[in-house]
A and B are shown apart, each in its own frame.
Chain A
Amino acid sequence: MTEDIMNVLSEFIARDILKQPSRRINPQDKLISSGLIDSFHLVDLALFIEDNFGVHIDDAELNASVFDTLDELVALVNERKA
């Protein structure tokens, strides 16, 4: 389950946000604090998670102190799905 979510999110970020479909995102890569995902795309990430996992991430939570890596993001999704 966790692995599935990880793969889906990683693919979405590489393909739709970074426009580098072949890129691999490591579970510990910093996504927000490194600037990998710029502020214009944070809302895409939130909408994608809402549409695909039925989990709401509030806009006030779209910052590095709530999640910064895929690992942390997957944990957040799992926690809310439960």
Chain B
Amino acid sequence: MNGKLESLTFCRALQRLYYELPDQTVIYLQHAGQTDRPISYRELIHGAAAYERALREQGIQPGEVVVLILQHGSDLIFSFWGAVLRGAIPSIMPFLTEKLLPERYRADMASLVDVTRPAAIITYAEFESEVCAALKPDTSVRTVMITQGVGVPEQPDFEMFGGMQRTPDDIVLLQHSSGTTGLQKGVALSHRAVFNQLRSYSQVLKLNDQDVIVSWLPLYHDMGLIAGFIMPILCAVPVVMMSPFDWVRAPYRLLQAVSRYRGTLSWLPNFAYNFCAQKIRDHHLEGVDLSSWRAISNCSEPVRYESHQMFLERFRAYGLRPEALATCYAMAENVFAVTQGGIDEALTVDEIDRETFQTKWLAKPAVPDKPSVRMVACGRPIPHVEVKILSSHGKELPERHVGEIALRSDCMLTGYYNRPDATAKAFLDGWYLTGDYGYMADGELYVSGRKKDIIIVGGKNIYPQDLEELAMTVPGVHPGRVSAFGVYNEETGTEDVVIVAEVDTNDSKERERIAEEIREAVTRGSAIALRQAYIVGPHWLVKTSSGKNARSYNREKYLAEIAGRPWIMP
């Protein structure tokens, strides 16, 4: 497998794959209600070559950014690799969903365009006017390219491709998280970083010729982009790609695809274990055989022991093996995986004493008759990745002490694109500060919480300040008097979002109206459904000494209040 990773740039790797394995099917593309479409390397490169030509003819230069606003499908796949062949830098933006307000989407796109300064945007004809409406007169975007206008697939002439001139340290792609804040921070990765990650990660996964990856993950997220798209294509492991849109409406499709294609590897956010276990009926599983599945890696939101158990119990009768449960701690800034656990071995479960953990930040083994917490290990760092745990003063902590997870590796981001300020803030003496809390024990990493205020819903990072901004647009809600945070929901296995808003009125009807409008503003502005818009009187919200929003305290206060417990500011 690693032999395929010697080429140090994407374009050269594609050239090799094209000549060595032209007939090998690398993607099985699924769409609900259609026959699956197998795509060989030949077809992939021919399709990409048509996009390369279109970009070249539009004067897009190597090193310029091309934003893709496309849904799951061959256009997205071909345009991504077409940009790579051109030597341009592709960046996939989440597609507009029907419930998001167009003006909100325009604002999101403006955040991306202002910072990233792309030269081209590729989208569908139906969406062209929407994209153009979002661009300012002095925009960096010279071309809004329409997929329908791209020519037919064609034979590649690699010598013509700007991608052949790229060097390993050039940036190959950008990856953004969603929302205004996320779209202003594009993680820029070099060819070298991606290849280093793939080399280490494929070794840990024991990736081999029998493997088949099955994925429903969106490509604008690192898990879908790297594990479910770039790794399979560059390592010549077939991938079955289904649409996230289809999966969420019919989660059984994932299991049917694993059974049909003898899938071996998948990556899922924690909520998906609950979702599959709860929302699939037996009649959709007739004849399904999951015995080929050798590693299902729980990744991108906190791993819950109960979610794994629920999944295992539900699907064991269909051949699911307990040792197939795996975990991964990953982030776009490290290309993808930082640690991996559960490959060919059972996951370690660490049962720790709850009180010492919560009050002293120590993960001490549980003692009989005292409340405990079951922590699932995220495994060991992959090769060439170092992990350490830091105290609040930046000092390295010993084993079983909880602190901020920091990492150093040969596959780090080059920087946040056009954001030297954000890049500088992310590092301390060459170590990347993840903003996550955790501890190490016996060489394995346990992730226990978050220092940063990010909310993770269904594996997707949500910045609370974006949601607070939306709530502040509601009449009766004042700037600076709103706090958004996540609350874990055991049933769904992910976080719910709560917004607390201080208002001046005591009128219950008026408060109800405000709550309803906050819900609507947030849903239409971010596609997030709130669990609750909690309306309170003046001076309820806790602020830090510098007057900033203390979201974690507001969260604690809210939880105490709805449970009828007293709450005292620590």
> Residues on A close to B: CB < 8 A?
19, 32-36, 38-40, 42-44, 46-47, 50, 59-60, 62-64
Contacts and interface: CB of A to CB of B under 8 A. Distances in A.
A44 B251 CA distance: 11
Q: Give the interface residue-count category, chain B.
A: 20 to 34
A32 B98 contact: yes
B33 A35 contact: no
A35 B279 contact: no
A34 B523 CA distance: 8
A35 B527 contact: yes
Contacts of A39: 97, 245, 248-249
B279 A47 contact: yes
B217 to A, nearest CB: 15
Nearest to B526: A35
B98 to A, nearest CB: 5
Given A47-B281, A60-B32, A64-B98, A38 B523 contact: yes
Contacts of B100: 35
B531 interface: yes
Contact of A59 (B99, B249, B520, B528): B249
Contacts, number: 54
A34 B99 contact: yes
A14 B567 CA distance: 31
B458 interface: yes
B21 interface: no
B99 A33 contact: yes
Given A39-B97, A59-B32, 8 more contacts: A35-B524, A35-B527, A38-B99, A39-B245, A39-B249, A42-B248, A43-B251, A60-B246
A40 to B, nearest CB: 6
A52 to B, nearest CB: 14
Interface string B275-314: 1000101000000000000000000000000000000000
Interface string B64-76: 0000000000000
A42 B97 CA distance: 15
A63 B98 CA distance: 9
Give the 7 A-B residue pairs with the shortest CB-CB distance, closest first. Answer: A35-B99, A59-B250, A59-B249, A35-B523, A38-B529, A62-B249, A60-B32
A2 B562 CA distance: 38
Nearest to B492: A40
A33 B529 CA distance: 13
Nearest to A36: B523
A43 B99 contact: no
Contacts of B281: 47, 50
Q: Which of A34, A35, A40, A60 has the most CB of B within 10 A?
A: A35
B19 to A, nearest CB: 39
Interface string B234-246: 0000000000011
17 contacts: A32-B98, A32-B99, A35-B520, A35-B523, A35-B524, A35-B529, A36-B523, A39-B97, A39-B245, A40-B458, A42-B248, A42-B249, A43-B249, A43-B250, A43-B251, A47-B281, A59-B246
A40 B99 contact: no
B170 to A, nearest CB: 37
Interface string B24-68: 000000001100000000000000000000000000000000000
Contact of B527 (A36, A38, A59, A60): A38
Contacts of A62: 249
Nearest to B100: A35
B528 to A, nearest CB: 8
A50 B252 CA distance: 16
A62 B279 CA distance: 15
A29 to B, nearest CB: 12
Nearest to A38: B529
